A and B are shown apart, each in its own frame.
Chain A
Amino acid sequence: MISERPVVVGLGMCSSCGSDYNAAFDSLVSKKDFLQTQNLFDSPKHAHRLFAVAKGFNTGKKHYSRCANIMLEAVSSAMSGLNLSGLDKRRISVFVGTSIGGVYETENALVKLLLEDSEEFGPLRFYECSTLSDIAAKKIGAKGCAMTFSTACSSSSLALSAACNAIAQKEADLCLVCGVDALSRITVNGFGSLLLLSADKCKPFDKHRDGITLGEAAGAIVLSSESAAKKLGLKIHSYALSWGCNADAYHATAPLPGGEGVANLITEILNRANLSSTDCIAAHGTGTLGNDSAEYAAYKAVFGDNIPPYHSNKRLFGHTLGASGVVNAIIGICSINRNILPPTPGFSTPIDGMQTEPLKDAKNGRNESVLALSLGFGGNNSGIILSKRPNEHKMPFYGGPFYVHSVGISSPLGVSLEEVSKNIASANSFKCDAERNLESIPPLKKRKFARLQKMVLSSGIRAVGDAKEVFKNPLKIAVCIGTGLGMVCETGKFIENAIINREAAPMPTAFTNSVHNAMSSAAAIHFGFKGLNSAATAKEISFESALWQAMSDMRLGASNCALVGAADEYSQYAERFLKTRAIYCKNFSGNLSEGAVLYSISPDKLPISMAKISLLKIGRRGDSKDEEANLIELFLKDFPEYSNGIRCCFTPSAVNKFQGELFQAAATALKVESTFIIEDVFGKSYMNSAYAYALAKLKGKGLYASWSLSSSNLRALTLFEIL
Chain B
Amino acid sequence: MKDNLTEDIKNKIISALNLQGVSAADISDTTPLFGDDGLGLDSVDALELVVMLEKEYSINVSEQSIAKEIFSTPASIAEYVRKNSK
Contact = CB atoms under 8 A, between A and B. Distances in A.
Contacts of A505: 51, 54-55
Main SS at interface, chain A: loop
B65 A289 contact: yes
Contacts of B63: 195, 210
A509 B17 CA distance: 9
Interface stretch (A251-259, A412-420, A488-496): A251-259
B51 A289 contact: no
Contacts of B18: 447
A interface residue count range (under 10 / 10 to 19 / 20 to 34 / 35 or more): 20 to 34
Interface residues of B, number: 23
A508 B47 contact: yes
Given A251-B42, A289-B64, A193 B47 contact: yes
B19 A447 contact: yes
A322 to B, nearest CB: 21
B21 to A, nearest CB: 6
Nearest to B63: A195
A507 B43 contact: no
Contacts of A448: 44
Contacts of B20: 443, 447
A506 interface: yes
A273 interface: no
B78 interface: no
B19 A194 contact: no
B55 A251 contact: no
Nearest to B39: A444
A655 interface: no
Nearest to A211: B64
Contacts of A507: 51
A504 interface: yes
Interface string A226-255: 000000000000000000000000011110
B40 A444 contact: yes
Interface string B38-71: 0110111101101100110000011111010000
A252 B44 contact: yes
Contacts of B39: 444
Nearest to B62: A195
A196 interface: yes
Given A289-B64, A289-B65, A506 B51 contact: yes
A512 interface: yes
Given A251-B42, A443-B20, A509-B48, A504 B54 contact: yes
Interface in A490-533: 504-509, 512
Contacts of B19: 444, 447
A422 B61 CA distance: 54
B51 A508 contact: yes
B51 A193 contact: yes
B30 to A, nearest CB: 19
Contacts of A251: 42-43
Contacts of A253: 43-44
Contacts of A211: 64
B54 A195 contact: no
Interface string A295-327: 000000000000000000000000000000000
A677 B24 CA distance: 52
A442 to B, nearest CB: 9
Interface centre among B63, B64, B67 (most CB of A within 10 A): B64
B48 A254 contact: no
Give the top 5 A-B pairs by smallest Cβ distance, nearest first. Answer: A508-B47, A195-B64, A447-B18, A505-B55, A444-B40
Interface of A: 193-196, 199, 210-211, 251-254, 289, 443-444, 447-448, 504-509, 512
24 contacts: A193-B51, A194-B47, A195-B47, A195-B62, A211-B64, A251-B42, A252-B44, A253-B43, A253-B44, A289-B65, A443-B20, A444-B40, A447-B17, A448-B44, A504-B54, A505-B51, A505-B54, A507-B51, A508-B47, A508-B50, A508-B51, A509-B45, A509-B47, A509-B48
Given A289-B65, A448-B44, 14 more contacts: A193-B51, A195-B47, A251-B42, A252-B44, A443-B21, A444-B19, A444-B39, A447-B17, A447-B19, A505-B55, A506-B51, A508-B44, A508-B47, A509-B45
